Amino acid sequence: MLNSVACNHVQHDNTLHYLNSSLIKFKTLHIMNHMNWLIIAPEVKNTNLKEIENLLYDKGIENPCEIFLDTDKSNEEIYETYRTVMRATHCVVLDAGKMSLKPEYIFISGMLSGNRCQTFVLSDENDERTKEICSFSSGQIKFFSSIDDLTKKLSADFSDLEKQDLQHNSLVKLFTMGIPFTADSMAHYIEKEKEEICELLLNAGMSVNAKTSDGVPLLSVAVRNDMSDKVKWLLSLGADINAISGDRGYSAVMDAVWRKNYDLTKYLIEKGASLEFISSDGQPILVLAVGNGNVDIVNLLLQNGADPDVQDSMGMSARQYANLFKKPGMVEAMEKFPRK
């Protein structure tokens, strides 16, 4: 059953102190809950009401609050009206022109604007007062002269509104938990395997390609901690497999080689990681692998196109290092790939 609240006249002197004392509490409720939809109309029998109710119901909003401005109410009912407005995150106003001169509607409009409530207003094309209110709303109050235009816009924007609401609530939750919205924070919780907090940071708008204050991509953070599941998860979310770290100049696959992690190296190659990068200290990936002494990884890189003759900053290649340090398995592996 839909929640309904009605009011007709506002006793400002009696309500303002009550509203101000309650504002913090209700703003807290407002930001911690998900989308709170409100419908405002001149009367219960408004001809467009059912269409909006059905649209919201189809979007999963089963119990929007409703305010009708054609009925006299007690002070307590007036207070409940304003509590309802303060809790609203999104609003549809129907036939605003019929209410535009009512003091209570003007007051409610100010509350919606002050709370930056996303509002869709239906009114007559000649309703200059409502247009003026919309023009001063920084875009969160949108004016429509036909119900068809309003419902089309609301339907088209609904997914974005949900995402914005999720982002807002996630940021608030992070704030209340004392968790910084930074890439360093995300890296920390990846390392600690705190999946719920990582999801919260992403929902709050953290880029999957964000880098720490040291310039390390989140994908590289996971690789450096041998976290295969987190590597797969980040890639599934669109992480750049070839992002380069600012500290070593390594890509994720170079970090996997540095960690002597064969399985992660193989997985990243299969996912399209480039083997042509050279680190900030001048090391090609095969030189790095030879230095680490893992024959299996050297073979894996060779089989996937890594060039054994690319030189490092010292003018030495992986082939030359293998011969210099007399590493038979690596020398034999490279003999299968003659110098070009």
Distances (CA, A) of 117 to 32, 86, 98, 140, 154: 15, 9, 21, 7, 14
The amino acid sitting at 257 is V
> In 152-165, which positions are buried (b, 16+ CB within 10 angstroms) versus exposed (e)?
eebeeebeebeebb
Q: What class does CATH assign to 37-157? A: alpha beta
Q: Is 101 left (phi over 0), alpha (psi -120 to 50) or beta?
A: alpha
pTM value is 0.75
- Separation between Cα atoms, residue 100 and residue 287, nearest integer Å: 75
With cut-offs at 50, 70 and 90, classify the pLDDT of residue 127.
confident
pLDDT at 7 over 60: no
Instruction: Please give the Cα distance from 26 to 332 (Å, whole number).
Output: 72
- Chain-centroid distance of CA 250 in Å reads 27
Section 237-266 average pLDDT: 97
Residue whose token pair is 């600690």: 192
pLDDT at position 103 is 84
Q: Report d(CA 268, CA 274) in Å as an integer.
A: 9
In order of 94, 168, 172, 197, the CA distances from 163 in angstroms are 25, 9, 14, 17
Residues 73-94 have pLDDT tens digits of 788 888 888 999 999 999 999 9
Q: What is the mean pLDDT of residues 14-31?
A: 38
- In sequence order, the β-bridge partners of residue 211 are 217
CB within 8 Å of 29: residues ≥ 6 apart: 87
Beta bridge partners of 141: 119
